[in-house]
Structure 1
Amino acid sequence: MPLTFDMPLDALKTYQGCNPKPDDFDMFWDRSIADMKALGTVAKLERAEFQTAFAECFHLGFTGLDGARIHAKFLRPRNATGPCPAVLMFHGYGGNAGDWVDKLSYVAAGYGVAALDCRGQGGLSRDTGGVTGPTHTGHIIRGLDDAPDGLLFRRIFLDAAQLARILMAMPEVDENRVSAIGRSQGGGLALACAALEPRIRRVAPTYPFLCDYRRVWEIDLVMDAYHEIREYFRYFDPRHEREEEIFSRLGYIDVQHLCSRIRGEVFMGTGLMDMVCPPSTQFAAYNRISAPKSLALYPDFGHEDLPGHPDRIFQFITADRRREKD
């Protein structure tokens, strides 16, 4: 096995992250969860043009924090005889919920599927930042100079958890068998969602983003998905006089600090040559998970398709359903 460019594998297995955790982190998120729960689980379903013989497809809309109108794609098995398990899907940074056809394998296996459009990115969800249309990127640093409640990723994390609660409240869904999956930003959101809604039963993040920001800075990989951190310093703190304050503020939206809240089983995939979301940042999150967990390593792969891994995720998510049919 080749050595990762980041740190030796033995060190990765014990690494605990270096981005500071704010002293009031838990109170901050407990209060934020209460704000999200106060919004309830009301959602509107609108039948989509895309339909299949075995899947009913809908546009799902709900109102998130600050009045933002959030969109998701929702699919359910046609003619189901009882509450079905379900999967939450989260997309990569700047992307969207994807095509309907990408979800059909889970529906064919008897699962409902809800795929979120992150507010302000490449989908149909609306950001309430004072402009019409997407802001697309720059979301890590959005709100960094405001109070922590103003951090945009606080709202996006809570949108993910709110969608989970909406899904669990549907009569056609078994609230005790809901899972979350995603890669890159989607992997970070799957972990955050499972932390903020601990009823999530299984979590399958692939090379999760939004973890251990300071580590990315220290190994000089603030480019690609993390480049906005460098741009923030260049424009607003060129001498790094506020560096400690800035990374501490980012600690509120650092997924690694949420991971101890996860109660569902976790199956994570990591490429040891990942130059976008460095392995150490992913291990910082993984090592803080106390729930049952397992990790699939791909020594020669980076931030790219991991051969066979989607199949392994499908087997992991659908294990209960397959046992029922045996």
Structure 2
Amino acid sequence: MNQRSIPQLLDYQGSSPKPGDFDVYWERALHELDHQTLAYELVPAGFSSELAECFHLYFTGVGGARVHCKYVRPKKAGAGKGAGLVMFHGYSCDSGDWMEKVAYAAHGISVLAMDCRGQGGLSEDNLTVRGTTVRGHIIRGIDDPNPDKLYYRNVFLDTVQTARILMTMPEVDPERVGAFGCSQGGALTVACAALEPRVRLAIPVYPFLSDYKGAWALDITTSAYEEIHYYFRFFDPHHLREEEIFNRLGYIDIQNLAGRIQGRVLWVTGLADTICPPSTQFAAYNKITAVKDLLVYHEYGHEYLPYLSDRTLQMFMTL
């Protein structure tokens, strides 16, 4: 497939399988989450602003992990309930600086930005699994007999819990909550909007974690999907378990979740992306049946995209 041919990309439906019990798998996961408390702890942050109040927020996620978020809310007294935004970060990073969140708070939007378990932030990863990871998180739990041990199952559920907590905030209107993130954060934006249907607007930017088999068929040693290559290289060089492996990864493939989204979606992609190849992104985009728009940066890849910050702020202001 021509990675930069939009007509071809808009027809692409992905190469990875969808497990036969996929819907049962996620309904069971959401049932577990329904029994998880939405209680949280707020700790004033060292960062201060005349426009916003800044806090560290902690909650207990599935499996008992302590999950950390940055919470920034407007400092406008008597403003009533406003919009809310959950934010998700890129692979191995953290929830980012306070400043970008203050910009939203200055426009009346409360922001809750989650640290992924066991990555660059303060959230802990207490998952105990059998098997190796080689490197990275995609394959964490792939060799465990229990598919519920997949690392990203818990992270996807953390995104839902983060959104639900934000929806309980006294200053937030639960019907006016959006989701945003780039790369891994884009994938988590899709997962959050798919698993929490009240998310009204989702803006995923060049999302990761989609169409694993399609990514593997490309030159993934230079992409974010390289750990799949290394897994086969070290643990299944003859690909005797290829079908089993890709079926297992199908549980945490956002293209299999995308059809559940009910809110509006603005999908942002760069056609020169070699980190998360465009075809893997379109495999998920093409399965969205909700109202959606596509914003294409033809000469851009996995990088800073001009004017995007302004556009996303303006869109979330309409929530």
TM over 0.5: yes
Percent pairwise identity: 54
Q: Quick one: which amino acid aligns to residue 53 of structure 1?
A: E
Q: Which piece of structure 1 moves more, 6-15 or 31-40?
A: 6-15
Partner of 1:173: 172
1:15 to 12, 15, 18: 12
1:1-326 superposed matches below 5 A: 5-6=2-3, 8-81=5-78, 82-129=80-127, 138-146=136-144, 147-320=146-319
State the AA in 1 paired with 2:92: G
Q: Which amino acid letter does the alignment assign opposite residue 125 of structure 2? A: D
Q: What CA distance in whole angstroms lies between the structure 2 residues aligned with 1:224 and 1:12?
A: 19
- Offset from partner CA, 1:112-139 (integer Å, 9 cap, x none): 00000000000000010369xxx99611
Give the secondary-structure state (helix, strand or coil) at the position aligned to 2:224: helix
SS at match of 1:165: helix
Instruction: State the Cα deviation string for residues 219-266 of structure 1 (Å, max 9, x = none).
Output: 222433211111111111111010011000000000010011111100
**Does the aligned pair in 2 maintain the 1:216–1:222 contact within 8 Å?**
no
Q: Is the 8 A contact 1:96 1:123 kept in 2?
A: yes
SS at match of 1:31: helix
Instruction: Give the Cα–Cα distance (whole angstroms) in 2 for the partners of residues 15 and 279 of structure 1.
Output: 10
Number of residue pairs aligned between Structure 1 and Structure 2: 314
Partner SS state of residue 194, structure 1: helix
**Secondary structure in 2 aligned to 1:159?**
helix
Distance 1:9 1:221 in 2: 21
8 Å CA contact 1:93, 1:137 repeated in 2: no
Contact 2:176 2:200 in 1 (8 A): yes
Extract unaligned runs of 5+ from structure 2. none
Aligned partner of 2:57: which letter?
L
Specify the SS of the correspondent of 2:269. strand
Structure 1: gaps (5+ residues): 321-326
> 2 CA distance for matches of 1:221 and 1:6?
14
Q: Whole-Å Cα distance in 1 between the matches of residues 30 and 134 of structure 2?
A: 25
Match of 2:309, as an amino acid?
A: P
1:8: how far off? 2.5
CA contact (8 A) 2:201 2:264 kept: yes
Deviations 1:153-199 (Å, cap 9, x if unpaired)? Answer: 00000001111011111121110000000000000000100011110
CA distance in 2, matches of 1:261, 1:14: 19
1:15 partner SS: coil
- Name the Cα RMSD after superposition: 1.6
TM-score, with length taken from structure 1? 0.93
Give, in whole Å, the separation in 2 of the partners of 1:111 and 1:7.
Answer: 36
Deviation at 1:272, TM superposition (A): 0.4
Does the C-alpha gap of structure 1 residues 136 and 205 become closer, same or farther in structure 2, counting only changes over 3 Å? farther
Instruction: Quote the Cα distance in structure 2 between the aligned partners of 1:269 and 1:136.
Output: 31
Is the 2:74–2:108 contact (alpha carbons within 8 Å) kept by the matching residues of 1?
yes
